[in-house]
Amino acid sequence: MRVLIALGGNAMTSPDGSARPEDQRAAIMVAMEEIADIVGSGVQVVLTHGNGPQVGNLLVKNEIAAHVVPPVPLDWCGAQTQGTIGVLIMNALETSLARRGVVASKPTVLVSRTLVNADDPHFAQPSKPIGRYLSEAEAANLVAHGQTWRDQGQRGWRRIVASPEPVECLDAAAAHVLLDAGYTVVCAGGGGVPVIRNAGGALAGVEAVIDKDLTAALLARQLGAGTMLIATDVDAVMTGYGTPEPRPLGDVTVARLRDLAERGEFGSGSMGPKVDAACRFAAGGGRAIITHLSKIGEALSGRAGTVVTRDETN
Amino acid sequence: MRVLIALGGNAMTSPDGSARPEDQRAAIMVAMEEIADIVGSGVQVVLTHGNGPQVGNLLVKNEIAAHVVPPVPLDWCGAQTQGTIGVLIMNALETSLARRGVVASKPTVLVSRTLVNADDPHFAQPSKPIGRYLSEAEAANLVAHGQTWRDQGQRGWRRIVASPEPVECLDAAAAHVLLDAGYTVVCAGGGGVPVIRNAGGALAGVEAVIDKDLTAALLARQLGAGTMLIATDVDAVMTGYGTPEPRPLGDVTVARLRDLAERGEFGSGSMGPKVDAACRFAAGGGRAIITHLSKIGEALSGRAGTVVTRDETN
């Protein structure tokens, strides 16, 4: 069984959302204990992960140090987090597997890119808020330098960037080779570093962020994974979330889940993209699961989480 | 033929040493044209690269933004550069190969770690200067925060870190799998992210930098490469460098080169470590080459560069 597991922020930061180095290290050690159990059970695992708080930190450094060191573009920040999170994951998972006596698989991490269309309409209409909140005056200064910032209400202004559709995980073929050789492969961290193909055919990085769960759905399909599991901080997708009667969804079809999404049941910044990614993957015939990081094992055996399939299960 | 090519700073920065994003991108595009010719000729290539100026920039950002964002440790800076340089290399090399119609190989980049001994004596006696020069007063402030800084003379004070011996490239086995599948593999960038194995067996990052050429020699041996080529900014190793009569070395044995090194012919910060790495690799029976980035092809055919072998060639 080949499973793609997409790790959310709670696998990479402390419960209060802090992303100090020690917070990241501790959170990843907890997450890798869960992953080691899955790998130890014989499942072929592909891991991908978010990087929001980490990129946020790098952007702040870019800004504050800009008078001394030239800032690096947004896509470089994503590449940087693939390196740091990748090493933390390898060290923690290799240690957890060794403690269990699992010798059949070792972790490996690919620096990985995701192709997007240069004419993706999201470039003209950036919509994804990233990084820290600033005052209107501070934001105005960065707008003068070509960035897009938007008033987000009480907490202040925030940078808005393009979040184009992932078209192809360019490094999936290398991941395939490593999976076939028995590796647990970390790939497409942060949704992959966004690149475009110029008119002349040249590949070039582009300033954007790609939704990590949408990339995960694409990567899972490219790698022939039967299951894509999105690990997050709730046990299941809920209807009536935030009302007095929230109800967890168990087995659900793509059609039913899309119907609920259209009725506005899921938040656009949080559960919405996860539900969208799960539906995209399941629509192709696979099984998509959304559950809590600590419930991965149970969910893979059908005893926890929201399980999305194209057709009714029975 | 499997060849490991170690790219030095001039493949990653502009001629004046600047490492702005556009300088890095331009330099890597030039270097990858050279590499594409080699790959196109049917040679199996493993690439590794330095990261000094890039890590220098990250350390400055760490310092300047420390009051807002928690600084990341030195080993994380190395991991970050594997991501950014890795993406630049992949985009440039994939483009250069496609333009030549080379379809037999594609580039791929592994986030990679190098094991060092926790009790390596270099940890007690740090010796490697890194990052920018500061005034004595500025350096004193960082010394108070636990760092080691040393008076480097006219240009000011510089941070000194440990540069332990590389013991094992932990991700070489994954590189081996990818090479066997036809990939051009980028591995051990910046000498690899240094990790130690704790008493309990756990792997953990450690604040240090590993000489990229010494790691290259180790990686070349682990991967069974017949040739290790160190690409730098001179055509060959010189004796009498800086004197009125510099003489380039062509074919040379390990014994002869070590003899010259002991007599102080090579600078400790520049050519010395390259000569040391070349001797280590060649002592195991392989061929080590030191030459200019633009002479890689000629040197591989024996028409340029300093070629180091264990025994006399004839």
Q: Which of A65, A109, A181 sits opposite B111 (nearest CB)?
A: A109
Which tokens go with B136? 């004595």
How does residue A314 score in pLDDT terms, banded at 50, 70 and 90?
low
**Could you tell me the pLDDT band of residue B268, with boundaries at 50, 70 and 90?**
confident
Q: pLDDT digit string (tens) for B172-218?
A: 999 999 999 999 999 999 999 999 999 889 999 999 999 999 999 99
Tokens of B293: 């980035």
Q: Are B186 and B11 in contact (CB under 8 A)?
A: no
H helices present in chain B, as ranges: 21-40, 52-64, 74-99, 136-143, 172-180, 212-222, 254-262, 271-283, 296-300
Residue B19 gets which letter from DSSP? -
Among all chains, which residue has been given the structure tokens 């450690």?
Answer: B206
CB contact (8 A) between residue B87 and residue A111: yes
Per residue in B6-17, pLDDT (tens digit) is: 999 878 898 888
Residues of B in contact with A183 (CB under 8 A): 174, 177
H/E stretch holding B303 reads none
pLDDT for A121-170, tens place per residue? 999 999 999 988 999 998 998 888 888 999 999 999 999 999 999 999 99
Residue B28's pLDDT band (cuts 50, 70, 90): very high
- 8 Å CB contact of B84 and A76: yes
CA triple A72-A75-A13, angle to 5 deg: 95
Token couple for A55: 């990129």
Whether the predicted pLDDT of A106 surpasses 60? yes
The DSSP bridge partners found for residue A193 are: A113
Instruction: Give me the sign of the Cα torsion angle A258, A263, A265, A269.
Output: positive
Q: Strands A157-161 and A128-134, how do they pair?
A: antiparallel
B positions 61-120 inside 8 Å of A (CB): 61-62, 64-65, 68-70, 72-73, 75-76, 78-84, 86-88, 90-91, 94-95, 98-99, 106, 108-111, 113
Query: What's the rounded Cα separation, in Å, for the pair B247 and B238?
Result: 5
Domain regions of chain B by residue span: 1-113+166-225, 231-314
The catalytic residues of A are 9-10, 128, 212, 274
Give the mean model confidence (pLDDT) for residues B114-119: 97
Percent of chain B with pLDDT over 70: 100
**List B50, B51, B212, B305, catalytic entry:** B212
Smallest CA–CA distance from A65 into chain B, residue: B61
State chain A's mean pLDDT as an integer. 94
Known catalytic residue at B61: no
3 state SS for B38-85: HHHCCCEEEEEECCHHHHHHHHHHHHHCCCCCCCCCHHHHHHHHHHHH
Is the CB of residue A206 less than 8 Å away from at least one CB of chain B? no
Task: Write the residue in B70, B111, B202 that is nearest to A111 by C-beta.
Answer: B111
For range B112-121, the mean pLDDT: 97
CA distance B98 to B106: 9
CA–CA min distance A53, chain B (Å):
11
Residue B128: active-site member: yes
Tens of pLDDT along A22-73?
999 999 999 999 999 999 999 999 999 999 999 999 999 999 999 999 999 9
DSSP code, position B201: S
pLDDT reported for residue B314? 56
- Tell me the CA distances in angstroms from B261 to B49, B220, B271, B276, one per residue in order: 24, 22, 10, 8
Whether residue A17 is predicted with pLDDT greater than 90 in this model: the reply is: no
- Virtual CA dihedral for B179, B184, B185, B186, nearest 10 degrees? 170
Structure tokens at B228: 């290790």
Q: Verify whether the Cβ–Cβ distance A173 to B106 is below 8 Å.
A: yes
DSSP letter string, chain A: -EEEEEE-GGGTS-TT----HHHHHHHHHHHHHHHHHHHHTT-EEEEEE--HHHHHHHHHHHHHTTTTSPPPPHHHHHHHHHHHHHHHHHHHHHHHHHHTT--S--EEEEE-EEE--TT-HHHHS--EEEEEEE-HHHHHHHHTTT--EEE-STT-EEEEE--PPP-EETTHHHHHHHHHTT-EEE--GGG-EEEEE-TTS-EEE-S----HHHHHHHHHHHTT-SEEEEEESSSS-EESTTSSS-EE--EEEHHHHHHHHHTT-S-TTTHHHHHHHHHHHHHTT-EEEEEEGGGHHHHHTTSSSEEEESS---
Of A196-200, B221-225, B280-284, the poorest mean pLDDT is in A196-200
pLDDT at A173 over 90: yes
Instruction: Give the C-alpha separation, B237 to B213, whole Å.
Output: 15
* Closest alpha carbon within chain A to B192: A87
Confidence of residue A308 (pLDDT cuts 50, 70, 90): very high
Architecture of domain A1-113+166-225: 3-Layer(aba) Sandwich (3.40)
User: Tens digit of pLDDT for each residue in B47-92?
Assistant: 999 999 999 999 999 999 999 999 999 999 999 999 999 999 999 9
- Catalytic option among B51, B274, B286, B295: B274
Q: Which of B13, B67, B72, B111 to mutate to test the interface with A (most CBs of A within 10 A)?
A: B111
B chain contacts of residue A51, beta-carbon cutoff 8 Å: none
With CB atoms and an 8 Å threshold, state whether A177 touches B183: yes
Q: How many CB atoms lie within 10 A of CB A188?
A: 33
Q: Is the per-residue pLDDT at B150 higher than 70?
A: yes
Active site residue B212: yes
